[in-house]
Structure 1
């Protein structure tokens, strides 16, 4: 993140105060929908940013590889800093909790997909839906 300004300038963009606030919000949140990022930005003492500014900032930062997103459900994407993409998301269909597993956990899956289809999956963008240990026990 220390080269954020340089990365933006190299693409003809500036590190605006709004973009810096978005990155700071994601740093604090670790994961956040655009609405959660907007709420976090609103709590930082600065001027309120319109949701459209949050979306445009997230899009610009994602285009640069600074942030990434995952779809945990059918609603808004969840954003995180790209260097935080060291895990896959596990979403419980019973209680709705979201937990994480190391990215290496998906290595066999990715290899199986690659071997069967030639397609190389990006598991950093992946959310797996199922049942957590507590809800799985409730089903039995």
Structure 2
């Protein structure tokens, strides 16, 4: 028996969780927290967090199987290199995850999708620590 194209088995995570609107909502809510955070806000030198929000949304969409717009406009993600100019210590890591946890919770994903997303986010946050400060 053939499974019709577009079934859950063939959908990317990006498609399964609702595509671009879901990732835009996640990142927007995350940056609302960052904007008010005295530890994280200085890591975003731009007056407006909009460009950072857009870049992060595009990155996550591409990572999870959506459009490749991020790489087409910015090249390889090189996450560690792009974050190297900033001091990312355990406190920054924890603050980042606090804001991301709120954003993930507000998506109300299935338990399976939430676990998969959270596992990646905690892993990625850990890899960006570059200071013991």
TM-score normalised by length of structure 2: 0.32
Structure with bigger RCO (C-alpha 8 Å, 6+ apart): 2
More strand by share: 1
TM-score normalised by length of structure 1: 0.31
